[in-house]
Amino acid sequence: MSEAAADVSPKPELLARLAAIGTPTLSSQLIKHGLRSSYLVGAHRLVGQDAICGPAFTLRFVPGREDKATPASYGWPGALPAAIDAVSAGSVVVIDARGHQGAGTVGDIFAERLRLKQVKGIVSDGVVRDLPGLRQVGLPIWAGGTASPPSIGGLSFAGWGEPIGCGGVAIWPGDLIVADEDGVLVVPLGLAEEIAAGGEKQNRFEAWVQKRVAGGAALVGLYPADAATLAAFETSEAARAAALDPGAPDPSLSPSTGLSSSTGLSSSTGLSSNPS
């Protein structure tokens, strides 16, 4: 196991904020921070309804080899059952299955063990098996689909707690995984607070825009926003802040408003100028 697999315990409040923001908004924020490779291609929600966020606990598979991918291999030291037993509560199990579509890396028994260990969910770029049983267990799962054969039908388990590639994205143990009905994203822990703050403000901005669109406003100048729109939104933000904390200074009186004269907001505002 890699030293990088040391337990990481981000604040529960931060995890809840990221899960509530939504992966579309978080994706825009990550792009604003220069991180374009954060969306796991091919991992779709199969089980569960709620959004989740937690630190990654990584599992790694390699192509199956006949002398290694055997029924007896499940009992070897360091095999997949040992990895399942080692998973930390509150984590999201992320499986590098090399995108293999013909062998399920997790079934209902392993999922039940993970549920009892209070894991938040499973993410894989491969497939799972025992779908009726997985639905009964109820642990949230994002994967590429289902297959009947077990993992040894095409893969060999190689280890856990190490950097992996899943869905075309590099993932280190402890990276934050956010998953919802739109998909799965990786958020580096060191950027998580900044991403969350920017995402919350972006959601407020888009809700503000949505009301105006619903009222018949044209998109040009509104979304993407021009300087007048940005100023109007910042005025609404100042009013919101004053309502929450009447004793706070009026941000509109600050020499720097954080506004951009282009079609979006400056990076200091945390808002994306990318329409959606």
- CB-based contact 121:56 (threshold 8 Å): no
- CB-based contact 146:122 (threshold 8 Å): no
Those residues whose C-beta lies under 8 Å from the C-beta of residue 221, and which sit 6 or more positions away, are 228, 229
129 annotated ligand-binding residue: yes
Where b means 16+ CB within 10 Å and e means fewer, 213-247 reads eeeeeeeeebbbbbeebbeebbeebbeeeeeeeee
212 annotated ligand-binding residue: no
What CA–CA distance (Å, rounded) separates 246 from 256?
A: 21
What CA–CA distance (Å, rounded) separates 270 from 101?
A: 38
- Mark the binding-site residues for substrate, compressed into ranges: 129
- Mark the binding-site residues for Mg(2+), compressed into ranges: 130
- Mark the binding-site residues, compressed into ranges: 129-130
